[in-house]
Amino acid sequence: MSEPTRLLEQGATPVERALLDAAVAERPGPRLRRRAIAALGLLYVAPRAASAATPMSTGVAAGASGKLMLAQVAKWCLVLGLGGGVVAGWQSLSGSDDPAAPLPGQGTTEVLATAPQDEMSNVAPAQREQPAEDDTDSKDDTARSRRSPAAKSTQAHTPGRSPAPAAPSAPDTSRSVRDQVALLDHARLWLSRGAPQRALATLSKYRARYPQGVLREEASVLRIEALRALGDREQEQAELRRFSRRFPRSAHTERVKSGR
Amino acid sequence: MLFGRRWRDSGRNDAVAARKIRLRRIFEDSHEQAWRVLKRLGVPAERLDDAVQQVFLITAERLDDIVPGRERAFVYGVALHHARNVRRRAWREVLGSEGSEPDQYATAGPSPEALLDQKQCAAICTEVLETMDAPLREVFVLFEIEGLKMHEIADVVGIPAGTVASRLRRARSVFRARVTNWGSLPLAAEGGL
């Protein structure tokens, strides 16, 4: 069967053309993109890494995975070469039970790059932000060497171990969102490892630090999932009711109710 | 043991990272299309953001089932399905609250001169499309606005290519009739399709 010609290419009246042209040109606002990316937990996946690859296929993903594997091998060679002291250091790191410690392998994962500044700075700042020194410092250390010049310049303005300034600035916002995403990533990781108690601990930490955080909806979803994994039906139902009350039109409602 | 554990962890993280790359790429490639399809297929503006998010949450859940190279078709399919659900739900709400079919057709719109404004054009296009039957509208939107090929539409909608062609013909004639009459006749007076 031959493909018909589109109205826009041939045969449309000026009015039809104007309508169709306008419909084709319409784009969603940037807010939608930011919200969806945060909700999908993709803030750390650099868009360039995602779009640099040509046609969508798992082959590309597999290629990325292969590169990461090579990086892992190189890392281990280095680790072995440095001797027992370094190994002991690694051991103490890997033995850490702190859920807020960097995710295993995060330091070598190219795609978990610093989130682009435009995405970060546009996300509404959380109320009552506090600097999350303990959670992010080690991550910052590992990521520092790969940061772009722009990211480096922002880092220069980011308060390090000194007390946080009174007025929140763009880098602070970025940092806050990074912290929030990191906390939720940790909670997800604990959940996937079958440790809902630890996930709940991390989520409590999130709630305490960011009561009005931009990802509080996603945190509530994770909390419900953790309670479900724990088998605490009563708490789960209470949390579910609270969730429905606070986010009556959430895109997650169906999923959390069905328990998928 | 330490090495083994770290190796396993890093392998798992690589897999997670690869999934995230793929999901982000799908998102970047098709979120605008998903948004447009949802909007043109009748999802109310205030629910659009959530609808797009829902489409990609489903995509994330089913990521491993998506055949490489068919990601965009998958997203279109989910968006289409979601739009149908939203319409069905909205219809039920209206029936429940009013006990009759809603007066879905707009009254006389702005004059053709006003079409110069692109935003207004897009809004009018949406209103015109809302006067079409859903099956015709789906095919029309996917072909004329999203630029999908006939066989892709057949795949996304789940109908034979011949049906796509006949629906497209009917959709075009309805679209033309609506646009021609736009601004001069209240569309409701035509009694629908």
Domain B1-102 has CATH 1.10.1740.10: yes
Report the largest interatomic distance among the alpha carbons of chain B, rounded to a whole angstrom. 79
Please state whether the predicted TM-score (pTM) of the whole model is above 0.80.
no
Is the Cβ–Cβ distance between A172 and A164 less than 8 Å? yes
Copy the structure tokens of residue A16. Answer: 């039809």
Question: Is there a domain that residue A186 lies in?
Answer: yes
What does the block give as tokens for A2? Answer: 């031959």
- Position A234 in a domain: yes
Whether A115 is in a domain gets the answer: yes
| Segment B83-136, tens digit of pLDDT | 888 877 766 665 555 444 433 333 444 444 544 567 778 888 888 888 888 899
The 8-class DSSP code of residue B182 comes to: T
Q: Which is more confident, A173 or B33?
A: B33
Q: Residue A45 — φ and ψ, nearest 5°?
A: -90, 110
> ipTM beyond 0.85?
no
Intervals of CATH 1.10.10.10 along chain B: 105-188
- CATH for B105-188 (3.20.130.10, 2.30.40.10, 3.40.50.300, 1.10.10.10): 1.10.10.10
Touching check for A96 and chain B: CB below 8 Å?
no
- Kindly state whether A68 is in contact with chain B, defined as any CB-CB distance less than 8 angstroms: yes
CATH of residue A37: 1.25.40
Domain count, chain A: 1
- CB of A4 within 8 Å of a chain B CB? The answer is yes
**Residue A19: what pLDDT?**
84
Domain range holding A247? 29-148+168-258
The model's pLDDT over A120-173, given as tens digits with 9 standing for 90+, comes to 434 333 333 333 333 433 343 333 334 433 333 333 343 334 444 444 444 455
Across-strand partners of A45? Answer: A112
CB-CB under 8 Å, B147 with A251: no
Mark which residues 107-126 of A lie under 8 Å from B by CB.
108-112
**Residue B26's CB: how many other CB atoms inside 10 A?**
22
Q: What is the tens place of the pLDDT at every residue in B166-192?
A: 999 999 999 988 888 765 544 333 333
Give yes or no for A72 touching B (CB within 8 A).
yes
What is the per-residue pLDDT for A209?
A: 86
Q: Which residues of B102-111 are buried (b: 16+ CB within 10 A; e: fewer)?
A: eeebeeebee
